[in-house]
Structure formats: C-alpha cells, structure tokens
C-alpha cells in the first residue's frame, strides 16, 4: 500500500510541477508573443489569462510542497534529509531552496506588484512607472521559468541518486 501512495504522490507532484512550469512556459513563449502580435491591448488578454492561471498555480504550489514533503519523509529518514552528507540530500536542499524562491516570486508578483500596477493604471498618468513595474513583473516570470527548469534538472539528479 505504501508503494501505491508513493506512486500517487509522485504523480500528483509531477503533474503539479508540469502545470506550474508549463503555465509559465505557455505565458512567456505562446500567449505573450501572440498577444503582442495580434492585439492592440495585449495586457487585457494577459490579465484575463492570469486571473485563470494564478489560482491553478497556487493549488499546484500547495500540492508540490505537500507531496514533496511526504515523499521525502517516506523514502528517507529525517536525519538523512537534513544532514547534507549525501549528493541526494544536497540536491534536495537546492531543489527546495529554488522552489521556495519561485514561490516567493510568484506571490510577490500576485500580492504586491499586480495590485500596484492595477492601482497606478486606474489612477492614470503613471505610464512610465507602470511600464517599469510591468517589466519587473515580466523579468520575475522569466526568472521563475529558469528556476523551474533548474528544479526539473535537479529532480532528474534526485532520481539518479535515489538509491
């Protein structure tokens, strides 16, 4: 039964990562360029996409941390995980750090930057400031994508060292 739970947990973990990182990929490389090419106001489409994606990303983040914690604790003992004495525990520590940074960026964008951009846009006359905040937000999305790729690479390393 333990093996079945581990398989289900791993599947949920990987699916949540695919949704989050895949969503970032879609926004950066498909939605954003397509909106810029075809729409006069690409921000409206991206805002609508974001309203639908952010809750899904939030749930994915929750699943990633819950399933990752459970899988790590069920396959290794706590002292092995925290010792940093093996390549596996070192890779896991880096993966967790990157995932925490990604989560911080995600929530900073959603809870701090997006409301600032919305408020300044509604007030009008702040186009330079709004543009700067939008560029910052986009750069943070790009950083999260790169961190996500690194997390996927580290996941491969963890599978290689899981024994």
Residue 126 has a pLDDT of: 85
Confidence bin at 3 (pLDDT 50/70/90): confident
The H-or-E segment that residue 34 falls in is: helix 32-38
- Residue 116 structure tokens: 């600032």
Q: What's the whole-model pTM score? A: 0.89
Res 163 pLDDT > 90: no
- Mean pLDDT of the 1-10 span: 88
> Is the pLDDT higher at 142 or at 89?
142
Task: Write the pLDDT tens digit of every residue in 79-132.
Answer: 566 677 778 888 888 999 999 999 999 999 999 999 999 999 899 888 899 999
Residue 74 has a pLDDT of: 80
Task: Write the pLDDT tens digit of every residue in 58-67.
Answer: 999 999 999 9
Residue 59 has a pLDDT of: 98
- Residue 96 structure tokens: 């967790």
Residue 43: CB partners within 8 Å, gap ≥ 6? 134
Residue 1 has a pLDDT of: 80
- Residue-averaged pLDDT of the chain: 90
Res 76 pLDDT > 70: no
d(CA 66, CA 82): 17
Q: Could you state, in order of their start, the residue ranges of all structural domains in the chain? A: 2-160
Q: Are 18 and 73 in contact (CB under 8 A)?
A: no
């Amino acid at each position: 039964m333990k093996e079945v739970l581990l398989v289900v947990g791993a599947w949920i973990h990987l699916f949540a990562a695919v949704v989050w990182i895949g969503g970032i990929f879609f926004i950066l490389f498909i939605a954003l360029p397509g909106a810029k090419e075809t729409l006069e106001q690409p921000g409206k489409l991206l805002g609508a996409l974001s309203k639908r994606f952010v809750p899904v990303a939030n749930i994915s983040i929750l699943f990633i941390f819950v399933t990752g914690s459970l899988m790590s604790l069920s396959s290794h003992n706590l002292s092995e995980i925290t010792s940093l004495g093996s390549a596996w525990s070192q890779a896991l520590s880096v993966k967790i750090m990157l995932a925490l940074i990604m989560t911080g960026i995600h929530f900073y964008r959603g809870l701090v930057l997006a409301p600032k951009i919305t408020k300044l846009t509604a007030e009008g006359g702040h186009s330079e400031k709004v543009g700067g905040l939008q560029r910052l937000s986009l750069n943070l999305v790009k950083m999260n994508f790169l961190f996500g790729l690194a997390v996927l690479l580290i996941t491969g390393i963890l599978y290689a060292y899981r024994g």
